[in-house]
Structure 1
Amino acid sequence: MNPEPSKSRIVSVGGRLLSWVEMVGLVVIAVATLIAGIQEITEMVGRRAVSLGDLLLLFIYLEVLTMVGIYLQSGALPIRMPLYIAMVALARHLIIDMKEMTETAIIATSVAILILAVAVLLIRFGHVRFPYSASSRDEDAG
């Protein structure tokens, strides 16, 4: 008896199962994001007013949907996407809660946004300066 065929089959079935769970998770995230966006739009219509915080929240929802779409198309997630979402979320927090925040909290939030922006610039610089080919991606994955 050779254990390799059964191990190979287990790995294959496990990989398919994980892919299925991943797909279900992405669909749940997309549907939940759509529902949250619709709820936010309904609240804005009910209030008959749109604030900057509302627009930033809708932008966050749009970025999450874009991130899910990119992941579905390419099977990879650019690390910049969550960083963009985090920057917008922190900016929204700063705009909405500024009156209740201490000076230290305002500075800390602003510095956090700056750190995320620098991280995005460093990642972009790294991709431009040190590009990698499709074959090196395959080697890293394997």
Structure 2
Amino acid sequence: MTPEPSDGLSPSNRARALLAFRFIERGLLFLIALLTLGAVALELIRVWQAQNVNLADILLMFLYTEVIGMVAAFYANSQAPVVYPIFIAITALARLIVLQGKEMAPQSIIFEASAILLLAVAATILIRFRQKPN
């Protein structure tokens, strides 16, 4: 009898598990893309019926576009860039500020704008110092 590896998985079982997780990951990403496209369609129908487009609607479309871009980047490179979620967070915060508008407390606007600035600085640092593949 051969001894089992200390972590409990043989190399072939580990390879099977990783393959299964890759299929699950890709399936979930495909589902996210489909659901995002469905949400885009529903939003376009709502805008068409209302016959009115406002800034919040446009920012929501940017959110959907960034989610689709993140899924596409994953399929292109087999890894999701860290910058995409930061862009999504920036857009979501901007949309929140627009939606709350005049009812929003001034200090909340300052906090949310500061969060946007912090995220923008983080994205800039990540983009500037990311390692290029060999």
- TM (normalized to structure 2)? 0.91
Looking at structure 2, the residues matched to 36 and 25 of structure 1 have their Cα atoms a distance apart, in angstroms, of: 16
**Which of the numbers 30, 33, 40 marks the counterpart of 1:30?**
33
Match of 2:64 in 1: 61
Matching of residue 89 in structure 1 with residue 92 in structure 2: yes
Any unmatched runs of 5+ in structure 2?
A: none
Percent of aligned pairs sharing the same letter: 31
Q: CA offset at residue 132 of structure 1?
A: 4.6
Looking at structure 1, the residues matched to 90 and 39 of structure 2 have their Cα atoms a distance apart, in angstroms, of: 19
Looking at structure 1, the residues matched to 13 and 123 of structure 2 have their Cα atoms a distance apart, in angstroms, of: 39
**Which of the numbers 75, 78, 91 marks the counterpart of 1:75?**
78
Match of 1:13 in 2: 16
Query: How many residues are paired up?
Result: 130
Q: Which runs of 4+ in 1 moved over 6 A?
A: none
Tell me the SS of whatever aligns to 2:79. coil
- TM (normalized to structure 1)? 0.86
Amino acid at match of 1:27: F
Looking at structure 2, the residues matched to 41 and 13 of structure 1 have their Cα atoms a distance apart, in angstroms, of: 42
**Which of the numbers 24, 46, 53 marks the counterpart of 1:43?**
46
- Contact 1:64–1:85 (CA under 8 A) maintained in structure 2: yes
Match of 2:106 in 1: 103
Any unmatched runs of 5+ in structure 1?
A: 135-142
- Contact 1:56–1:88 (CA under 8 A) maintained in structure 2: yes
- Bigger helix fraction: 1
- Contact 1:26–1:68 (CA under 8 A) maintained in structure 2: yes
Tell me the SS of whatever aligns to 1:76. coil
